[in-house]
Amino acid sequence: MTAIAHYREADGKTQTLQEHLESVAELACGHAAKIGLGETGRLLGLLHDLGKFSDEFQAYIKSSVGLLNPDEDGKCQRSCRLEGGTTNETGKRKEALDS
């Protein structure tokens, strides 16, 4: 199973968690290198969203953007019904779907 980090509403594309972590790691490395901490920045970039690998978060994000139907998927339990929402690429709040 490929873990999802973000969903872009404009075109329906997902960003994998691996792509996201590697991209953030490169950005963080570049910024942290300015003060001599490039590799520390890279490590922090790789670790910052590691919790998104959890089954609960994956079920939550997939159900909130319509990639998973909590009524039909046996793996989706309480995590699909978490209140709130997720932030899309533009920073706009996307509310979780009611189940």
Over residues 82-87, the mean pLDDT reads 49
How far, in whole angstroms, is CA 74 from its chain's centroid?
22
Q: What does the pLDDT look like over 12-57, one tens digit per residue?
A: 888 999 999 999 999 999 999 999 999 999 999 999 999 999 999 9
* Helix (H) or strand (E) segment spanning residue 15: strand 13-16
Q: Can you state the angle between helices 17-33 and 38-47, rounded to 10 degrees?
A: 160
pLDDT average, residue stretch 57-72: 80
pLDDT tens-digit readout, 66-80: 777 766 655 555 544
Question: 11: Cβ–Cβ under 8 A, 6 or more apart, which residues?
Answer: none
Q: Which helix (H) or strand (E) holds 85?
A: strand 85-87
Residue 18: alpha-carbon gap to chain centroid: 10
Task: Break the chain into its structural domains and give their ranges.
Answer: 4-95
